[in-house]
Structure 1
């Protein structure tokens, strides 16, 4: 059962579940795809998250000179879309992406801390982190930053009590049960275990974000010499 509720006076939230799961993710992706193919008058944008999809709209265009309440009209439109989106849902066919990562050393300053917290050796942390195929649940808090699902539960480590004022682009980190990649240089409190030389975001690209929600990726451990070689070949 999808729950709908207002967010301010120009947005509506569709809550597809109360926990992060592949099924909830697929439902959000299916509705996003349907909405992209069937936009309604006044639709501004929509933002998928772990368990929700937020739809932003223009209240004036939906009010028709004050004869309709915009929220109620959007809610009706979206409720009519929900069963249609579910009936026409198709799995996204993104190719899996390999992300090379140089773990530890100057690239992963918190690898030893994660190892100590989990009771694993640094080598075991690397092996467990690079073993799964991860699902990109959503892109946020910075442009191109992927929130990934599928990390080994043994690697779960709390965020830093004091965030770093600047984390470099490409840094791979762990925060609680999640792992992700910093797409831009930003402050951050995730435990850094490695870094990739691959650029994740560029506003000049036709598709600015390298990764998309619904995509799968694998981390591939590399040595420092390979990191610098790949970095030199990045556009």
Structure 2
């Protein structure tokens, strides 16, 4: 069974909202696909429900499953076309049972620690973010590093992680205009989430740091090392250290992986 990045990253245009009752929906996704959606906005309870359902499906795949793609608030399955009708009702029933319990995020089985240079040229928007939070730049950076973060989904670009959730005070709006070019390794923030760019990209999010870790390298043995559900910690590092780590031919940039279970 193969896993790819989602066909869309559902966080990009919706602000983080307070939790509302979850109402799972079963949606068609072509002749060989089913999408199970827990909510229409990126609510924390929906994100947790997605990861619980995806873990259960991965542990006991239904007959005919070809691809499993967890998003922020939905799970996409690609199946043998003949299996779609048979899988749908059971999947919806399981999603409703999960939604009724409003589960917490499953315990992570892996944790990444990723060095990051905050502020200055490496995080040109950190000062503005800190001002909105009523904090110093150092305090804002420390809050990111202290947060219990997860890879919520991989999407928008190959290997690109959406990471969260930051404390509620970080429910910051996107910029009113796009920044034309943020560099590979930019760590950007909005709506209680962080995104780590694997390549240069335009963005409406605020860049607070720079890392040497690259979430996608096609020449690596594992091109996309991050997985939905991975725990993430950022470790503050000086800019010259990040610049030196950028020379890592594997693009891991000093990141360390711990297997927790």
Q: TM-score range by the shorter chain?
A: 0.7 to 0.9
**Alignment partner, residue 134 of structure 2:** 119
- The yes-or-no answer on 1:29 pairing with 2:44 is no
Question: What is the deviation of 1:124?
Answer: 2.0
Question: What is the deviation of 1:150?
Answer: 2.6
- The yes-or-no answer on 1:102 pairing with 2:125 is no
Query: What is the TM-score when the length of structure 1 is the normalising length?
Result: 0.79
- Structure number with greater Rg is 1
Q: Distance in 1 between matches of 2:131 and 2:243?
A: 28
Summarize the Cα distance change of 1:2–1:159 in structure 2 as closer, same or farther, 3 Å threshold: closer
Contact 1:118 1:157 in 2 (8 A): no
74, 78, 82: which one aligns with 1:52: 74
Instruction: Please show how residues 141-220 of structure 1 align to structure 2 within 5 Å.
Output: 141-220=156-235
CA RMSD of aligned residues (A): 3.0
Question: What is the deviation of 1:155?
Answer: 3.1
Query: What is the TM-score when the length of structure 2 is the normalising length?
Result: 0.72
Summarize the Cα distance change of 1:209–1:92 in structure 2 as closer, same or farther, 3 Å threshold: farther
Q: Distance in 2 between matches of 1:83 and 1:118?
A: 37
Summarize the Cα distance change of 1:82–1:115 in structure 2 as closer, same or farther, 3 Å threshold: closer
Summarize the Cα distance change of 1:28–1:102 in structure 2 as closer, same or farther, 3 Å threshold: same
Q: Which runs of 5 or more structure 2 residues have no equivalent in the other structure?
A: 1-22, 100-105, 251-261
Question: What is the deviation of 1:43?
Answer: 3.7
Contact 2:24 2:96 in 1 (8 A): no
Question: What is the deviation of 1:20?
Answer: 2.9
Q: Distance in 2 between matches of 1:85 and 1:164?
A: 39
Q: Distance in 2 between matches of 1:121 and 1:215?
A: 29
Q: Distance in 2 between matches of 1:127 and 1:93?
A: 22
- More deviation, 216-225/115-124: 115-124
- The yes-or-no answer on 1:7 pairing with 2:29 is yes
Contact 2:69 2:75 in 1 (8 A): yes
**Alignment partner, residue 67 of structure 1:** none
Summarize the Cα distance change of 1:207–1:85 in structure 2 as closer, same or farther, 3 Å threshold: farther
